Structure 1
C-alpha cells in the first residue's frame, strides 16, 4: 500500500474509532505516569513516607504487574465475547479510573495514585487483546501491515505528548489540578470515540472462562509454543520491548556518567527516538505491498546492528566536555550531529523492525485462539520490558560499561534479522492448520 492508501484508513468507521480511542488512552496513560513521577521527584508526593527513588519504581511496577496477572484471563474473554463491546466497556471503565486519579491529584495522595495506576494497568490488560485481535476482522489482509503502522506511529507520538504534558504540567503551580481535569476530558473523549465501532463477533463463543491466572498464563504460553509461526513474531516483539525499555532506562545514566552533559539532553534523545520510531512505522505503511512485510524487519534489524555498533563505539571513545551543557547547546555543536543522527536513525530502524511482526502475529494466529495468543504476546512484551529495565541497568552498573549494552542490543537484533531472512517473500495469508 502507498502512504496515501494507508492514510485512507483514517476516516473509516472500521478503523478510526479504535485508532482515536487508543491514541487518547496512550496519551492519558503517559500523562498520568509522568505527572506522578514529577510530583514524587520534585513536589514531595510520597507513599508511606518512602523516598522518591523508591516511589518511582513502585509506580512502574504498579502499571506493569496487572499485565502479568490478567493477560491470560483477558485473552480468554476477548475470544469468548464480542471485542467491540469489550473495548467500549474498557474505555468506559477508564472514565471511572480517571475520576479516581483526579481525586488523587487534587488531594496529593500517593496511595490513591499508585492504586489507580494499578487499575489502569488492569484496564490496559483487558483492552489490549480485544483491540489487537480485532484488527484482522476490521482490516483486509493487504491493509493489516498499514493499519499496524498507523497504530505504531500514533502510539509513539501520543507517548511523547503524554510524557511532555505530564512532566511540564505537574511542575507548574496549578499543574495537578490541570492534569486531573485533562485526564477526565480525554477519558470521556476516548469512550465517545470507541462507541461507533462496528461489532467484532466472538471468535470462540463456547469457550469456558478459567479464572486461575497462574494456570492460564502457562496455558497461553503453551499455545504459543505449539504454533512457532506465531511464537516467532511474538518473541521478536518482546525483544523490541526489552531493548527499548532498557535503553530508555539507561539514557539518564549515559548522559550523566559517560557524556557528562545536562539532564535536558535526555529529553532530546527521547524526542528523537519517538519521532524516529513514528517515521519508521509510517515508512512501513507507505512501502508495504500487502505481504507480511518481513523484509522491513530484516532491514530494521540489520540497521539496528550497524547503528548500535556505531553508537557503542562513539560512547566508548566519548570525551566529556569540561562543563555539562544542555540540549540546545549540544545540538548547536556540529561535532555532535553525527551522534544525534545515529540516535534518530536507530529509532527509524526500530520502527521498521517492529511493525511487520505485529501484523504477522495477528494474521497467523488461528481465529479461535487469536486473542489468547496475542495476550501471550502482551505478557511477553511486559516481561521483556521488565527484563530490559532491570537487566540492562544491572549489566552496565555491576559488570560491563554502557557501550557494551549498545553492542549487545545491536548483535541481538542482527541475529533476529538474520533468522528472519528465510521468511522474506512470505505470501499474505492467514494461518492454516495444514
Structure 2
C-alpha cells in the first residue's frame, strides 16, 4: 500500500489533497455547529421548531448542487483548474467572515444564507475536484489518488462534524466556531496556492447560464458513454445508500441502542473510518489499475452487512434512560452492530473508488468536468430521494432497523439491474475473484501491451482459465479467439460472451465458422481492439508446449499489427489443467492461493512474425516452469 501514500510527498498531489480535505472539514464544521445551535437555542432565534430548522438547513446546503453544478462544470472545463480552485477558496474566506457576522448578531437568516452560499461554493468546487485528478496523475495512480481523496473526505466529514458539535457547546462557543472556520478557510487558500497548473480543456467555450437547460445538457454528455453514465448512477446510488444510513444514526442510537450523543458520534466514526479503510485498500486489491471487478464485491457487502445490521438490531429495544457509552459497549449485540457498520462501510469504499476512477478515465477530456457536474447533480437528487423515502417510511410507522432492511434489499435490486445492463462489471468480478482466491498472480512486463491501437496477444495454453488470467492482468479489454466447444460451456460461456470472445472451429470441422472467426479478428484489429490467441490450438496435455499453428501469420498478414508474446507459468497441475487426467475433477490438488506468473515481452512487428519465431519467444519466457 506504500505507493499511493507516496503521492502525499509530491507537490502535484499533496496541496490539492490538503485543499479538498480542509474544504470538506470546514463544510461540516460550520454545518454541524449551526445544527447544534439550532437544536438547543431555536427558541432564541425563531418560532420554528428545531426539527423543521434542521431539515431546512440540510436542504439549503444541498440545493446549490442542483442549481449550480451544471454551470460549475462549464467553469471547470473553461478555466485553468488551479486558479479556479484558488477563487473558490477566496470565496470561502469571504463566506466565513459573513458567518462570523451572523454568529455575532445571532441572526438565523444570515447564518442560513451563509450555509446556502457554502453549498454553492462546494458545488463550484465539486467538478474541478475530480476532473483535476486525471491531469495530475498517471493512469496507474488514478485508483490510489481517488482512494486518498475519498478516505480524506470521509475523515474530514467525521472530524468537522465532531469539532463543530464540541466547539459550539463550549464556553464562548460562537466565538470559537467563528475563529475556527475562518482559520481553516485561510489554511485552505494557502494550500491551494501550491497546486500546480492544470490546463483548461475548452477555453473557447461560452458559458451558458440557464441552470435547467445546462443540467439537461450535462446529463446528455454523461449519457453518451453508456458505461460512464451507468457508473454515475452507481455512484449516485451509493450516496442514496449512505445518506439513508447516516441520517438515521441519531434515531438509531436513541431508539434502538438507548445511547446519547456520544453513541451517535461512535456510529459516525465507525462508518467514516470503514469507508476510509476500504478506499485505501482498493489500490492493493486492484493492482493499481481501475478494477471494476471490486464494484460487485462492494455491492454484495453493502447488501449482506446491511441485512445483518437489521437482523442484529431488530431484537434490541432501548429503555427510557439514555445509557453511557461504556455501558453500551459492554453488550455483545452492540459489537456485532459496530462490526456490521465497519464491514458495510469498508465495502462502500470498494464500491465507490473504482466507479469514480472509471468515470474519470473513460470520460472525454474535453467534457470531463461537465460529466462530473452531471454526477454531482444526480448525487444530490438521489440524496434528496433518500431523505424523502426515509421520512415517508418513518411516518408510515417503520422502525430504523426496518429502514436499513429496505435499503439493503433495494441495493441488491439496483446492483442486479446495473450488472444486467453492463455485464462487464460482473465479468471483471469473476476474473478478479479467480486470481485472488484460487491463485496468487504475479505479473511482469504487462506494460508491453500497447495502450492504444490494435494488437495481438499470444501465449502458451496450459489450462481452461488462461484467458481469464490474462484478462485480469491487462487494463485493456481483450477479445480472445476461443474453441467453439469451450465457448459454449455453461459457466465459461457467460464470461466469453460478455468479453466478446470470438468462437472458432478447425477447417475440417466447420470451415465457415473458421472463416467468420478470421473476418471478425480482422474487424476487431482494424477497430483498434486487442485480440488474444493461443497458437497451439489446444490445452496442454503434458505441461509442455505444442508447435504454433499458422493462423497467427495469416492474421497479421491480413491486418499488420504488433504481436505481444506472453507466457503463463505455474498453472500445470492446477485444478483447471489436465495433469493426471481430465481438468476440474480434483479440487484443491495444489491448495488455495497457488502462485502463478504471467510474463510479457516486447511487441514483435508484423513483418517479423512467424509461428516458429513466436514459439521460441514464448518458450523462452516460460522457462522451465509450466
TM-score, scaled to structure 1: 0.94
The more displaced of 346-355 and 285-294 is: 285-294
The equivalent position to 2:267 in structure 1, one of 266, 269, 292, is 269
The equivalent position to 2:426 in structure 1, one of 421, 424, 427, is 421
> Partners of 1:265 and 1:150 in 2: how far apart?
27
Q: Contact 1:6–1:286 at 8 Å: present in 2 too?
A: no
Paired residues for 1:105-144 under 5 Å: 105-144=103-142
> Partners of 2:362 and 2:28 in 1: how far apart?
31
> Partners of 2:326 and 2:185 in 1: how far apart?
35
What's the CA shift for 1:169? 0.5
> Partners of 1:5 and 1:344 in 2: how far apart?
25
Q: Match for residue 332 of structure 2?
A: 334
1:99 matched to 2:104: no
1:214 matched to 2:212: yes
Q: CA 1:389–1:429 in 2, change beyond 3 Å: closer, same or farther? A: farther
What's the CA shift for 1:317? 2.8
> Partners of 2:20 and 2:257 in 1: how far apart?
37
1:11 matched to 2:16: no
Q: Contact 1:29–1:162 at 8 Å: present in 2 too?
A: yes
Paired residue secondary structure (2:7)? coil
Q: Contact 2:45–2:106 at 8 Å: present in 1 too?
A: no
> Partners of 2:120 and 2:476 in 1: how far apart?
33
> Partners of 1:322 and 1:131 in 2: how far apart?
46
Provide Cα deviations, 1:312-369, integer angstroms capped at 9, x if missing partner: 2223333445754232211122343222211221111111111111111111110111
Q: CA 1:46–1:301 in 2, change beyond 3 Å: closer, same or farther? A: farther
Q: Match for residue 196 of structure 2?
A: 198
Q: Contact 2:255–2:318 at 8 Å: present in 1 too?
A: no
> Partners of 1:319 and 1:192 in 2: how far apart?
50
Q: CA 1:292–1:249 in 2, change beyond 3 Å: closer, same or farther? A: same
Q: Match for residue 174 of structure 2?
A: 176
Paired residues for 1:263-342 under 5 Å: 263-321=261-319, 323-342=321-340
Paired residue secondary structure (2:396)? helix
> Partners of 1:330 and 1:403 in 2: how far apart?
17
Q: Contact 1:243–1:409 at 8 Å: present in 2 too?
A: yes
> Partners of 1:46 and 1:244 in 2: how far apart?
33
> Partners of 2:43 and 2:349 in 1: how far apart?
36
Provide Cα deviations, 1:42-78, integer angstroms capped at 9, x if missing partner: 1347665322222111111111111111011111111
Q: Contact 1:263–1:326 at 8 Å: present in 2 too?
A: no
The equivalent position to 2:86 in structure 1, one of 79, 85, 88, is 88
TM-score, scaled to structure 2: 0.66
Provide Cα deviations, 1:374-409, integer angstroms capped at 9, x if missing partner: 000011111111111221232233164433322332
> Partners of 1:45 and 1:280 in 2: how far apart?
42
The equivalent position to 1:67 in structure 2, one of 65, 68, 83, is 65
Q: Contact 1:363–1:429 at 8 Å: present in 2 too?
A: no
| Larger relative contact order (Cα-Cα within 8 Å, sequence gap ≥ 6) | 1
What's the CA shift for 1:247? 1.3
Q: Match for residue 30 of structure 2?
A: 32
> Partners of 1:9 and 1:263 in 2: how far apart?
37
Q: Contact 1:276–1:345 at 8 Å: present in 2 too?
A: yes
Provide the aligned C-alpha RMSD in A.
Answer: 2.1
> Partners of 1:309 and 1:31 in 2: how far apart?
32
Q: Contact 2:29–2:161 at 8 Å: present in 1 too?
A: yes
Q: CA 1:237–1:47 in 2, change beyond 3 Å: closer, same or farther? A: farther
The more displaced of 50-59 and 261-270 is: 261-270
Q: Contact 2:146–2:356 at 8 Å: present in 1 too?
A: yes
For structure 2, the 5+ residue unaligned runs are 420-424, 430-470, 478-526, 530-626
The more displaced of 288-297 and 27-36 is: 288-297
Structure with greater strand share of residues:
2
What's the CA shift for 1:259? 4.2
Paired residues for 1:357-376 under 5 Å: 357-376=355-374
The more displaced of 280-289 and 29-38 is: 280-289
What's the CA shift for 1:433? 11
* Aligned residues between the structures: 431
> Partners of 1:193 and 1:123 in 2: how far apart?
17
The equivalent position to 1:20 in structure 2, one of 15, 18, 39, is 18
For structure 1, the 5+ residue unaligned runs are none
Q: Contact 1:246–1:390 at 8 Å: present in 2 too?
A: no
